[in-house]
Amino acid sequence: GESVGLHLPTLSVQEGDNSIINCAYSNSASDYFIWYKQESGKGPQFIIDIRSNMDKRQGQRVTVLLNKTVKHLSLQIAATQPGDSAVYFCAETSNAGGTSYGKLTFGQGTILTVHP
């Protein structure tokens, strides 16, 4: 659901379930997207990225789906484990004007809690 300030969206799952975390982005010119995992007291950890010329990319236990038509990004985690519990952020950037670099715009984050 929608959240403001400290009230981040939350997702609670049981260990072994599949998790889907969603992200809506606003810049139609964005052409590179990244998912990050952030545990308490740590910096964001790179999970997976995708470029705008793709609509799906798979990693180890994770899949990112990109729907440019509706500006939507999702992260699917298979067989979720307690160690997956963290805040997940999507981030986007644009190559508009040929100045693409790591000037990422982050989404608000989703708290994933995995129960044993």
Partner 1 sequence: GAGVSQTPSNKVTEKGKYVELRCDPISGHTALYWYRQSLGQGPEFLIYFQGTGAADDSGLPNDRFFAVRPEGSVSTLKIQRTERGDSAVYLCASSLKGYNSPLHFGNGTRLTVT
Query: How many CB atoms lie under 10 A from the CB of residue 13?
Result: 17
**Nearest CB to partner 1, comparing residues 34 and 77:** 34
CB of 100 to partner 1, least distance (A): 4
Choice from 14, 26, 69, 103 touching partner 1 (CB under 8 A)? 103
β-bridge pairing 110-115 and 10-14: parallel
Q: Is 1 in the site for partner 1 (CB under 8 A)?
A: no
Closest CA to 34 of 52, 47, 21, 17: 47
| Nearest alpha carbon to residue 75 among 62, 87, 84 | 62
Per CB under 8 A, 9 contacts partner 1? no
Contact positions vs partner 1 (CB under 8 A): 5-8, 32, 34, 36, 41-46, 49, 51, 89, 91, 95, 99-109
